[in-house]
Amino acid sequence: MENHEIDYEIFGEEMQYVEVELDPDEAAIAEAGSFMMMDSDIKMDTIFGDGSNQEKGVLGKLFSAGKRLLTGESLFMTAFLNIGQGKKRVSFASPYPGKIIPIDLSEKGGKFICQKDAFLCAAKGVSVGIEFSRKLGRGFFGGEGFIMQKLEGDGMAFVHAGGTMARKELAAGETIRVDTGCIVGFTKDVDYNIEFVGGIKNTVFGGEGLFFATLRGPGVVYVQSLPFSRLASRVWAAAPQMGGKDKGEGSVLGGLGNILDGDNSF
């Protein structure tokens, strides 16, 4: 095995966090902003690149860091190393309400493909790169689901699903259609493409976007009910506009205020 072997426990229901147990000289990697708490004798270290073993040379590190830039992530990741004598623990928190999904890459054929903002943390040695699309349609029309990350290695990784998570196990040739933003991830043998919704009414009035993802088995697909982009758009739409003026949301007078202000979106 190339990856560090880590034990873990997931706590909570709606706002979960994962506690990772590290033996001496074991380490975990995480994206910036996911750290919650840790024991003493755990050393934090900023690493350059995708989090895999760092014996790549300068060019290899630059290439892995460049791939991360394409997914909108930082050039750097954070490593948490146990430099003490006994077992130590470090915890990573969910960014918003949902579920943390443990992914054992050794059971997934060494590769798992996930939404670019789904990755939370992993054992040291897991490579966090970009999954390049070989089909042109994905690139032009994929939207939120176009740039996917790939997690490679034989260790544990943890991804986050917003809202409620659905696990769909697809037989060979079985197909499921999913909103591109609702994809959390899928195993390496799942075929993934973008499909046009079709129909002028659906296109103009449907409100669900022009395209959805088609995933074909065999393999396992994880779907989330609340992608972050959808949560953010709803919060933005509900936020008081026009300089932060409160219109009394949730009241009759608030509705009348919307009409008088020329806003009938209540």
Q: Which residues of the chain form beta strands (DSSP E)?
A: 7-11, 17-22, 27-30, 35-38, 42-48, 76-82, 88-93, 98-104, 111-115, 119-123, 127-131, 148-152, 156-162, 165-170, 175-178, 183-187, 191-196, 211-216, 219-224
What pTM value is reported for the model? 0.76
The token duo for 249 is: 């949301």
- Structural domains of the chain in order of their starting residue, each with its CATH number: 7-237 (3.60.160.10)
pLDDT of residue 229: 78
pLDDT of residue 139: 46
| Listed range (98-102, 119-123, 209-213, 258-262) with the worst mean pLDDT | 258-262
Q: Residue 60 gets which letter from DSSP? A: H
Dist. CA 254–CA 19, nearest whole Å: 44
The token duo for 122 is: 């992993």
Mean pLDDT across the chain? 77
Dist. CA 88–CA 65, nearest whole Å: 29
Residue 253 has pLDDT above 80, yes or no: no
Of the two residues 234 and 25, the one the predictor is more confident about is: 25
pLDDT of residue 37: 96
In the chain, count of helices (H) and strands (E)? 5, 19
Span between the terminal Cα atoms of the chain, in Å: 57
pLDDT of residue 205: 46
Dist. CA 250–CA 252, nearest whole Å: 7
Could you tell me which of 140, 152, 129 has the C-alpha nearest to residue 69?
129
pLDDT, tens digit, 9 for 90 and up, residues 185-233? 999 999 988 877 655 444 444 444 567 889 999 999 999 998 887 877 7
pLDDT of residue 261: 46
